[in-house]
Amino acid sequence: MKSNIRFAAIVIFAFLFSVLPVYAADLTVSVNASSYIRSIPETMYGTNMQCWDDAQNGSNNNVNTLIAAAGNRYVRWPGGSWGDGVLWSDMEGPNYSNTWRVSYGQSMYRINKFDSIMQPIVNFSGIWSDATGTDVNHWEAGAISAAAAWVTDQSSRTNCARYWEIGNEQGGPWEYGWFSGISGTYYGSRYTHMYNAMKAINPRIKIGADCDPCDTYQPWGWYVGKWTRDMLNIMEANGIQPDFLIIHSYPGDTDNAALLGGGVLYIRDFTNSLNNIISTSIGPQYVGKIKYWMTEWDAGSPSTYNRDMSYVSALFKAQYIMEMCKYGWEGSNPWSQYQYHNNETGYQNYQLYPKWYASPMLSYYFGRDMVTASSTDSTVRAYASRDDANNLTIFMANNYPSTDRTVHINISGFGAGTTGGQWLIQPAGSMCPNGVSIQDYNCLMINGVVNPSPSTVPSLSSVAVTTGDSFDISLPRSSMLMIKIPPANQTQRLPYGGTPWPIPGTIEAENYDTGGQFVAYYDTTAGNSGGQYRSDDVDIETCSEGGYDVTGIKTGEWLEYSVNVDSNGLYKITARVASADSNQQFRIEFDGRDETGPVLFASTGGTQVFGNADVNVFLTKGPHTMRLLMDTNDWSVDMLTFTKFGNGTGSVLREVWAGISGGTVANLTSSADYPWNPTGRFLEHSFEGPTNCADSYGTRIRGYLHPVTTGTYYFYIASDDAGELWLSTDENPANAVKICQVTNEVNDYQWDSAAEQKSSAKTLVAGQAYYIEARHKENTGSDNIAIGWEGPRIIRQAITGAYLSPCVIDFTNFSNFASQWQKTGCSLANNWCHGCDYNHDRKVQLDDLIQFADNWWLYGGE
């Protein structure tokens, strides 16, 4: 009944909207769809983690639902000034005394669970707070050592951190390590030492520096001198430049919500100021090369009403992200769509406040390729983009709290179709206490639906709207409107040669898809300057290694390829590249997801002298669109070769048996339901389970381990209560033996509490599959289970899904079931007829076959 009411509401809303009188337009939004600005990176839709909120440890299913729906892949960690004072490798303090914190290990579980990328904040000063809250100074050498160790740890992980910050807001007295005479020169000198130590371990990471966008002496006396100018000058004197500059911003720090509309324009002012500082201190050649990030931001102080719950925050947040995209910023991490309020009813229900919707709406519906848009009324802002299907999307925001507007849309450089779809986002619900306008509502509507379910945001239907190259449309007060317009004559992107390129395999750079500019490629100059192979705008020349290469590359250009990945797994991408210049860079996306991060390479000796640039990625089976994005100028690319490592599929099977008391593994294995009849089955992206999730249960995690390097490995187990780890000499479970265990509970990821937790040395061969199984029993109190390993190029850590595949129900299991079909007398003594009597009624019959069939699909059998 509820769904029918919702459908009726949408129909009525669409009808009313269509018959409302449309008045003469009182402003114009102009869009030039051929005026390309940039390809929007995933990093523009990041978030901050709150490591003081233990609901974010990956075990809270309500929070997990929101995290998954939001799709914020880049997670700034540990979050803010407080997190900057906590040592990453000892988040919970001595003897795990601060269990309310989300530990580093728990954070990595969350990172793996959602295929996220951590953006670490490295403590600048070497001062960290101990378990009692006392600041302990480890000095500069200690800070550098801890930073280097962290980079080493991250660099061995599949989802390696790509962007790092040194410090949080070091110019302010609230920061760990601040002192009254601190200056940009002091910070820049320390930054240089940490930068060099971290890059020595992993030269591919990008490291950001805290800056002040204002080129003035700080009026409150928080620091000495002109922070950013002094910082850049000392870095330049020491032979480095930061990869990006970091600022934080909280506009509208008053009771007047309307000020947030003007606060959106701060991005323009920040950009101009930073450009000027860079140009006049270290040189104009670095403008655009040094990127800008807003790694911590939100609407200003809530003051007399809860601004972070109000609609005005969503209105502000969406425009702030769009302004950063427009001015070429590289990353954004706002606070925080997962934030709840203990004094609100919504805390218990995980109520979705309006700002939660801004990032998913933009990331799912606004195209990646931004083009020029402008408005004749500065209070009504407009942004536009094109997507892979060559649709044009226009996003508009009406910052007037009490005035509806009629907008005339004028489009050039596109050729628009006459019918499009729209999503109208408006305030809804009750007002906040002491609210002053419609912008203070704490709910919103999207096409008439109030606070849609998180799981439906990526698939919200649009409402049909009449479009074209010139049309008028209503824009209600305080609303946001997104219109997706297809081209009148659709140009289809197709694989060059008609068939997607297979992975593993080699893709020649010049064999990008057909479809033309903005569809299959973007090139900054008209015509093929090399004059070879193809007659469009991509520059192709004869290659010194045979065949052809793409040359004359410029920043912002891209090429797309239709590919088909043979199977899930870890792949090495080897790009054959050539350049006379150093510090070159590219990225590779699959279906809009940046899978490589920045890939850097040095001079190869010339634009026809080719060398290798390598990066490892985890890819999923099936068809994909691959985009090669160019981040620097004047280099050439010949081909991309994909080589598969091992046969890991990205997950491992976790089975749970509920309602079993006791704290020993024997309590689990002696249960009549073990091993064939668990109460729940889950696929995990790492070899571990959630922390503090339940009492009186047992766990079995099992699958196949696929090492990619031959060598010596050690295995570890950490569990609460007891746990065992079994490893086979091959893929046969019958050959598995117990290699380590926990008999007395240990804290999560506490690998070395007892000698029995570590295995003896195990020699593993690349390409060989090894059956591996963990058994775990929880009685009451806290609970955890994780399996770690270390070996060639792997620092001790939980085993990630890139090296694992789950046990599945397959034809071998079916043969076993068939051999037991219609047997009677099943019992624990005969292992319930080899596990085929699922309901333990002592017979193998049709109801057991139905359960077997359900398991077949659940486990992913083929």
Give 535-558 pLDDT, tens digit per residue.
999 999 999 999 999 999 999 999
- Is the pLDDT at 859 greater than 90? The verdict is no
Least confident of 545-549, 781-785, 858-862: 858-862
Least confident of 109-113, 499-503, 729-733: 109-113
- Is the pLDDT at 93 greater than 80? The verdict is no
Report the mean per-residue pLDDT for the chain. 89
What is the Cα gyration radius of the chain? 29
Q: What is the pLDDT of residue 348?
A: 41
- Is the pLDDT at 134 greater than 90? The verdict is no
| DSSP H helix total and E strand total for the chain | 16, 45
- Is the pLDDT at 353 greater than 70? The verdict is yes
261 band by pLDDT with thresholds 50, 70 and 90: confident
SS3 453: coil
- Is the pLDDT at 862 greater than 70? The verdict is no
Contact 758, 718 (CB under 8 A): no
| Residues 90-127: b if buried by 16+ CB within 10 A, e if exposed | bbbbeebebeebbbbbbbbbbbbbbbbbbbbbbbbbbb
The closest of 698, 783, 771, 701 to 736, measured between CA atoms, is 771
Q: What is the pLDDT of residue 90?
A: 84
- One DSSP character per residue, 696-755 reads SEEEEEEEEE--SS-EEEEEEEEEESEEEEEE-SSS-GGG-EEEEEESS---TT-TTSSG
Least confident of 252-266, 796-810, 826-840: 252-266
Least confident of 216-220, 355-359, 429-433, 675-679: 429-433
Least confident of 101-105, 343-347, 752-756: 343-347
Round to whole Å and give the CA distance between 835 and 807.
15
Round to whole Å and give the CA distance between 138 and 418.
66
pTM: 0.89
Least confident of 603-612, 680-689, 716-725: 680-689
Task: Please give the C-alpha separations between residue 180 and each of 117, 174, 186, 217, 373, in angstroms, as whole numbers.
Answer: 35, 11, 12, 14, 46
Round to whole Å and give the CA distance between 673 and 772.
21
- Is the pLDDT at 447 greater than 70? The verdict is yes
Round to whole Å and give the CA distance between 719 and 728.
21
Contact 473, 463 (CB under 8 A): no
Round to whole Å and give the CA distance between 695 and 526.
66
Round to whole Å and give the CA distance between 761 and 759.
6
User: Which neighbouring-strand residues pair with 777?
Assistant: 698, 722
- One DSSP character per residue, 176-190 reads TT--TT-BHHHHHHH
Task: Please give the C-alpha separations between residue 65 and each of 56, 159, 350, 362, in angstroms, as whole numbers.
Answer: 11, 21, 10, 19
pLDDT digits (tens, 9 = 90+) for 2-40: 333 333 333 333 333 333 344 578 999 999 999 999 999
Q: What is the pLDDT of residue 341?
A: 44
User: Which neighbouring-strand residues pair with 716?
Assistant: 758, 788
Task: Please give the C-alpha separations between residue 39 and each of 43, 221, 415, in angstroms, as whole numbers.
Answer: 11, 40, 21
Q: What is the pLDDT of residue 6?
A: 31
SS3 230: helix
* Residue 113, C-beta contacts closer than 8 angstroms, at least 6 positions apart: 58, 64, 684, 685, 686
Q: What is the pLDDT of residue 96?
A: 75
Round to whole Å and give the CA distance between 239 and 245.
17
- Ranked by mean pLDDT, the top range of 256-265, 297-306, 472-481, 488-497 is 472-481
Q: What is the pLDDT of residue 848?
A: 85
* Number of other residues whose CB lies within 10 A of the CB of residue 486: 17
Contact 209, 193 (CB under 8 A): no
| Residues 215-244: b if buried by 16+ CB within 10 A, e if exposed | eeebeeebbbbbbbbbbbbbbbeeebbbbb
Category of 560 on φ-ψ map: left (φ > 0), alpha (ψ -120 to 50) or beta: beta
The closest of 58, 48, 50 to 749, measured between CA atoms, is 58
SS3 16: helix
Task: Output the six-digit token pair for 326.
Answer: 């427009």
For the chain, what percent of residues have pLDDT higher than 90?
66
Task: Output the six-digit token pair for 20.
Answer: 């409302």
Contact 500, 623 (CB under 8 A): yes
Q: Which residue has the higher pLDDT, 60 or 843?
A: 843
- Is the pLDDT at 660 greater than 90? The verdict is yes
Q: How many residues does the chain have?
A: 862
- Is the pLDDT at 260 greater than 90? The verdict is no
Task: Please give the C-alpha separations between residue 451 and each of 352, 508, 662, 717, in angstroms, as whole numbers.
Answer: 7, 47, 44, 43
* Residue 560, C-beta contacts closer than 8 angstroms, at least 6 positions apart: 388, 493, 512, 513, 520, 521, 625, 626, 627, 628
Round to whole Å and give the CA distance between 785 and 688.
6
Residue with token string 């004869």:
542
Q: What is the pLDDT of residue 89?
A: 86
Q: Which residue has the higher pLDDT, 650 or 435?
A: 650
- Is the pLDDT at 680 greater than 50? The verdict is yes
- Is the pLDDT at 51 greater than 90? The verdict is no
- Is the pLDDT at 60 greater than 80? The verdict is no
340 band by pLDDT with thresholds 50, 70 and 90: very low
- Is the pLDDT at 162 greater than 50? The verdict is yes
- Is the pLDDT at 613 greater than 50? The verdict is yes
Which uninterrupted H or E stretch holds 406? strand 405-412
Round to whole Å and give the CA distance between 475 and 17.
11
pLDDT digits (tens, 9 = 90+) for 558-590: 999 999 999 999 999 999 999 999 989 999 999
Least confident of 93-107, 249-263, 671-685: 249-263
Please, what is the angle between helix 139-155 and helix 184-201, to 10°? 40
Task: Output the six-digit token pair for 309.
Answer: 């719950």
For the chain, what percent of residues have pLDDT higher than 70?
92
- Is the pLDDT at 299 greater than 90? The verdict is no
SS3 100: coil
Strands of the sheet containing 117-122, edge to edge, are: 47-48, 74-77, 117-122, 163-166, 206-210, 244-249, 291-297, 331-334
Mean local confidence (pLDDT), 339-356: 55
Contact 99, 106 (CB under 8 A): no
